[in-house]
């Protein structure tokens, strides 16, 4: 039983990071109806930016802030330079184009920062917390990760439900024509979706770096997990992305604990396949959400 609890605890913070990536994917799907496979590439790139800032300043916080800004700018660039022109012709083309962006970013990162795997020291201890004479697999850093995720989810929820900008973004996603007829500058709202997703992804990248380390390909596996969580959650549900992001983290931790960590991606893909067979709209999805 204690082992089971330990495995669960070990999965929470990786689940929180998967949730952030899944959130970024959902944010873009909701606004643009494109699955952004470049999301982890963008996060990898901004994490390298963070690493550079950190080497220069020594500050984890500065590095995070710069990464967030870079994430927003990179999201905007990808949207304007690649997605918008391609999507005008064809949506599935835009989805393929995101793979192109992923590969391009990985190549670019390799050229700029080299292909070596680099470490990223956490700002607080990554050692398990000792409680009641036992060391539990949950560290001060895990607490930070979970707190940041909760803050982001609350912030995004408030943005979407309480502000006019959020209302414009939701309206643009649900019905662009009615939004335009209501005076909403829909193309700006869509671009803002990419900016915010880029920022959320950047936070996820910086948070996962101490665990995964940083190399042009070190976030690839995160794409598999985040995509699984986003799809099972229904692709357009923020709640779904978070719930199944954490859920995926827990499942992976249990699978890795009881068998071998190399089985985790397989299990994720099996879950994804089962979901698509049994409940193709996702658990939190609307029935017609993908018909638009």
Residues that bind another protein (CB under 8 A): 164, 167-168, 170-171, 174-175, 177-186, 286
CB of 181 to another protein, least distance (A): 5
Chain length of the chain? 292
Q: Shortest gap between Cβ of 159 and another protein (angstroms)?
A: 14
Q: How many Å is the Cα radius of gyration of the chain? A: 19
d(C-alpha 284, C-alpha 287), whole Å: 9
By C-beta, is 164 or 262 nearer to another protein? 164
**Residue closer to another protein, measured from CB, 6 or 236:** 236
Nearest CB to another protein, comparing residues 186 and 250: 186
Of the two residues 2 and 288, which places its CB atom closer to another protein in the complex? Answer: 288
CB of 30 to another protein, least distance (A): 11
Q: Please report how the helices 91-113 and 39-57 are oriented relative to each other, as an axis angle in degrees rounded to 10.
A: 30
In the complex, least distance from residue 180 CB atom to another protein, rounded to whole angstroms:
4
Q: Are the CB atoms for 37 and 280 separated by under 8 Å?
A: no
Which residue lies nearer to another protein by CB, 125 or 163?
163
CB of 168 to another protein, least distance (A): 6
Q: Which is nearer to another protein, 205 or 285 (CB)?
A: 285
- Smallest gap from residue 129 Cβ to another protein (A): 42
């Amino acid at each position: 039983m204690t082992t089971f609890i330990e495995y669960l605890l070990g999965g929470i913070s990786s689940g929180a990071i998967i949730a952030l990536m899944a959130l970024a994917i959902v944010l873009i799907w909701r606004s643009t109806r494109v699955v952004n496979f470049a999301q982890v590439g963008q996060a990898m790139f901004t994490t390298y930016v963070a690493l550079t800032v950190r080497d220069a300043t020594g500050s984890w916080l500065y590095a995070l802030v710069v990464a967030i800004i870079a994430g927003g700018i990179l999201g905007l660039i990808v949207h304007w330079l690649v997605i918008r022109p391609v999507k005008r012709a064809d949506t599935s083309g835009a989805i393929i184009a995101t793979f192109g962006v992923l590969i391009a970013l990985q190549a670019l990162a390799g050229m700029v920062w080299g292909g070596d795997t680099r470490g990223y020291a956490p700002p607080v201890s990554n050692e398990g917390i000792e409680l009641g004479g036992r060391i539990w697999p949950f560290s001060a850093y895990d607490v930070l990760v979970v707190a940041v995720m909760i803050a982001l989810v609350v912030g995004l929820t408030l943005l979407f439900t309480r502000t006019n900008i959020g209302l414009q973004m939701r309206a643009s996603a649900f019905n662009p024509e009615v939004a335009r007829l209501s005076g909403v500058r829909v193309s700006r709202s869509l671009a803002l979706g990419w900016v915010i997703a880029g920022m959320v992804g950047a936070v996820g990248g910086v948070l996962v770096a101490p665990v995964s380390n940083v190399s042009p390909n070190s976030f690839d596996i995160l794409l598999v997990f985040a995509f699984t969580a986003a799809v099972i959650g229904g692709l357009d549900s923020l709640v779904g992305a978070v719930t199944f992001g954490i859920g995926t983290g827990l499942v992976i931790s249990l699978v890795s604990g009881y068998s071998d960590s190399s089985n985790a991606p397989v299990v994720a893909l099996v879950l994804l396949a089962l979901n698509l067979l049994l409940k193709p709209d996702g658990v939190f999805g609307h029935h017609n959400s993908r018909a638009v």
